[in-house]
Structure 1
Amino acid sequence: MPVLPEQLRQVMRRWASTVTVVTMRADDQIHGLTVTAFTSVSMNPPLVLVCIQNDSRSENILREGRCFAVNFLAEDQAELSERFAGRIPVIDRFEGLPYQTAVTGAPILKNALAYLDCTVASAYWGGDHTIYLGLVEDAGILREGSPLLYFEGAYRRLVPETGGGAS
């Protein structure tokens, strides 16, 4: 018998992850959402994956547009994460935010740490989410800094090493 959703949720809270905003475009519609279900898959070919909740606005736009950008947030961008998670009420999540586009046309947040611009290579059923495998068409570092982390239901920051190195 599989583990119950609440037990899995409690265990997964112990997994630290970087915070990203995944943005997408379909024709003249743009959208974005905060995502921690993201990872690199392959260097050759360059592939990443994101998991998007089924039957959501994001999933509909991504399925139609077949492109997305992964924007890596910096440790000073918790408010941006909250905005794209829908916790800050705004009609347009992009209102007042500078963004650019690269190869696919998906929005790239100009103040993010870095980005990956992807076309959808494949999509797979993943329970209540769809797993999108993206071919990385363009990538870049936009600024220096440390990433925004999420652990135990809260935003976290990296702690600088205090010397000595790993043992």
Structure 2
Amino acid sequence: MNAVEMSMHAPAAAEDAALAMQASFKQAMRRLAGGVALLATVHDGVRHGMTVTAVSSLTMEPPALLVSVNRSASAFAAFAASARFSVNLLAEAQADLASAFARKPDGDARFANGAWRTGVHGMPVLDGALASIVCRVHDTVTFGTHAILIGRVEQLAVGPLALDEPPRAPLLFLSGQFGAFRPMPR
């Protein structure tokens, strides 16, 4: 193979390597359990929501979190245009809600699932969530296929914990399946 032939094959080889890296990375991330939440907002008077697993606390001072949203998601435009959003952390028994918010229909129709109320600044808040957090968008960072919403906490509601009952297990997502956390025996 001469130098011209090699240079013609180099872009194809680099593209193949990039695709292989993406496939391997996807498989690696399927092995990382993530908490499941419903991300919700209101834009132009219509509620929008979606299921997310890429939620993380960012700082305690000031209280802030981040959420990663795929820019090709049907609800992304509403989140990109809104000044606020809510993150509703789901319990194990709420897997059906997570599934409903991951499918169509879009927009307000998703909110037929679950008991929703209006929180501060009109944000949708899920009754029965482990916690519901209303945030003001502080910044949005675009990277690759996703946007990272950085939210400063404005309102927080932590679900009730009965003293005579064990705490509810959070809903987790691992290898394409919902599950729950089980503590290890001491």
**TM value normalised by structure 1:** 0.88
Structure 2 residue identity aligned to 1:113: L
Secondary structure at 1:94 match in 2: helix
Give 1:149's match in structure 2, choosing from 172, 181, 186. Answer: 172
Give the aligned CA root-mean-square deviation in angstroms.
1.8
Structure 2 residue identity aligned to 1:51: S
C-alpha contact (below 8 Å) 1:29/1:61 kept by paired residues? no
CA distance in 1, matches of 2:171, 2:22: 26
Larger CA Rg, structure 1 vs 2: 2
C-alpha contact (below 8 Å) 1:21/1:84 kept by paired residues? yes
Q: Deviations over 1:18-68 (max 9, x none)?
A: 100101111311111000011000011111001111143322111222211
Structure 2 residue identity aligned to 1:105: G
- Percent identity, aligned pairs only? 33
Structure 1 residue identity aligned to 2:155: D
Secondary structure at 1:77 match in 2: helix
- Aligned positions, number: 161
Secondary structure at 1:57 match in 2: coil
Residue of structure 1 in register with 2:132 after alignment? 115
**TM value normalised by structure 2:** 0.80
Secondary structure at 1:150 match in 2: strand
Residue of structure 1 in register with 2:55 after alignment? 38
| 89-98 vs 124-133, which moves further | 89-98
C-alpha contact (below 8 Å) 1:112/1:143 kept by paired residues? no
CA distance in 2, matches of 1:104, 1:51: 22
| 65-74 vs 139-148, which moves further | 139-148
Residue of structure 1 in register with 2:40 after alignment? 23
- In structure 2, list runs of 5 or more residues that go unmatched: 1-16, 162-167
C-alpha contact (below 8 Å) 1:13/1:153 kept by paired residues? yes
Residue of structure 1 in register with 2:82 after alignment? 65
CA distance in 2, matches of 1:28, 1:53: 23
C-alpha contact (below 8 Å) 2:97/2:113 kept by paired residues? no
